[in-house]
Chains A and B, each alone.
Chain A
Amino acid sequence: MTQNRNDEQPDAGYLMNQMQQMVDRTIQRGKNGFELLRSGQIPVGQTPKDLIYDKGTLKLFHYRPVADEIYRIPLIIVMATTNKGFLFDLAPGQSMVEYLIARGFDVYMIDWDAPVATERNLGIADYTHDFLPTCIENVIAESGEPDVNIIGYCMGGVLSLIYAAAQRNGPLKNLVCLTTPVNWHEMGLFRHWANEKYLDVDKLVDTLGIIPADFIANSFEMLRPASKTAGRLRLWEQMWNDDFVKSYRAFERWGNETLPLAGEYYRETTKELLWGNKLFTGTLKVNGDLIDLKNITIPIMSAMAEHDHIANYNATKPLLDLVGSTDKHELVLKGGHVSLIAGPNAVKRMWPNVDNWLGVRSV
């Protein structure tokens, strides 16, 4: 292809190529745009799995192994409570779960459904002292192994940290935290919006019971108000690109399926973590247990994104300084809160890094 330099005019051949490309893309854009309007929801979470335990909002899935032999220690992914776990299994080729099971991990996932009215009183302790231990017991029974490893994403990482700090000498052998906020006083705009002086969280929770999904989704969107429009403009421009369209639609579906939260859980998260910053200061009490992250002595890996707009870099960065572990590994990647899990950088760097770090600790 003819190169254009600043000191030269583009030649006719180059311009013809450009014109041809524009025409081709316009045709493809129209075709894909029509397909987009015509089609329903894009399928997600297609890796075969079995539901092995459920209790209200909680779902425990087991992904069917595909490797000839698998690692001894089963791996549990703990999804954030605000979103569906198919972020880890968006589409074939864009699925961390698919990658991990192909690499020989025996993968389970703790996923969440929208809590219903009767679950409004679920608090942090229900998640860390009931749901997580029960799921771990189920995985132990299912796999026949006494140990487990955990990957926790965002609030799933926070819940896993609380569990790990409370359950010393338990079955948890290795912990991977992905974009997990620990210093909640660095949570940026959330701190302003949920200002203790103005937000009446008790009134909010007592009135609504369940915090609606729209409320949660809007607060995420307000962090980057231009993102949605910019995303649609990019979609229009890239409409000729089948892979881009599929990926966009999967991410869009994931964003649209934000989950509501149990009121009590929201109240405790706001008061204890966001206002009190008690996980960071080692003063958090859950179910009578003082949660000091220094109590965590198992090998731990923390992966975070430099441009994370939800769990800010400064909120996630201190994790490894707070734990008592000596075997610690940090991974800082460019990208954001979501692309860390399913973006191009995840495929190239995050997944192989987790595979390498966890693989040697899973025998």
Chain B
Amino acid sequence: MTNKNTPTDPAAMFQEWVSQWERATDKFSNQLMGTDEFGKYLSQMQNFQIEFQKTFADAMSRQLTNLNMPTREDVLSISEHLQSLERRMSRIESALTKLAGTNNGNPADSAAPPRTKKPVQAPDA
């Protein structure tokens, strides 16, 4: 059994060191990032990233169209369509299960417990 108060326990010393390092690093980083200047820098970086991403995506989309290949948007659209079909199937399955009076044959679902439970504690708990 580990004795955490023992100064020679290397595990406890290691844990303490990690905690101290984490606190110090987070504190330093938060001071650095908790300024309007950092916010300005971050926003500029985001803007640049968005511009780059958009330009690259547009160019790629044009290339794929020229090559008569589906773009990411096309693939996503098919995926959404498939998901929509899956949901419809799931709803139909669920409705059929309810009509059949059982839920996947699980006996626990066929009879819901009564809603009669009373709490043990007083209301001002």
Contact = CB atoms under 8 A, between A and B. Distances in A.
B113 A199 contact: no
Interface in B18-52: 18-19, 21-22, 25-26, 29-30, 33-36, 38-40, 42-44, 46-47, 50
A106 B18 CA distance: 42
B64 interface: no
B25 A226 contact: yes
Given A64-B108, A71-B115, A199 B39 contact: yes
Interface stretch (A160-168, A265-273, A352-360): A352-360
A194 B112 CA distance: 48
A234 B15 contact: yes
Contacts of B65: none
Nearest to B33: A189
B36 A230 contact: no
Interface string A181-199: 0000000110011110111
A332 to B, nearest CB: 17
Contacts of A117: 73, 76-77, 80
B122 interface: yes
A243 interface: no
A200 B21 contact: no
A359 to B, nearest CB: 4
A227 B33 contact: no
A207 B57 CA distance: 11
A51 B99 CA distance: 16
B11 to A, nearest CB: 6
Nearest to A104: B117
A23 interface: no
A333 to B, nearest CB: 17
A363 B117 contact: yes
Given A70-B114, A70-B115, A226 B39 contact: no
B36 to A, nearest CB: 6
Contact of B43 (A4, A18, A200, A225): A200
Contact of B15 (A4, A237, A360): A237
A21 B2 contact: yes
Contacts of B76: 116-117
A145 interface: yes
A50 interface: yes
Contacts of A207: 50, 53-54
A4 B8 contact: yes
B100 interface: no
A195 B37 CA distance: 10
B121 interface: yes
Contact of A51 (B11, B39, B90): B90
Contact of B36 (A52, A71, A192, A233): A192
A1 to B, nearest CB: 7
Interface in B97-115: 103, 106, 108-109, 112-115
Nearest to A116: B80
Interface of B: 1-3, 6-11, 14-15, 18-19, 21-22, 25-26, 29-30, 33-36, 38-40, 42-44, 46-47, 50, 53-54, 73, 76-77, 79-80, 83, 87, 90, 94, 103, 106, 108-109, 112-123, 125
Given A118-B80, A199-B39, A230-B18, 9 more contacts: A21-B2, A48-B108, A54-B87, A69-B115, A70-B114, A192-B36, A227-B22, A230-B19, A359-B120
12 contacts: A64-B109, A67-B117, A70-B117, A189-B33, A192-B34, A195-B39, A197-B40, A199-B46, A225-B25, A229-B22, A360-B123, A362-B119
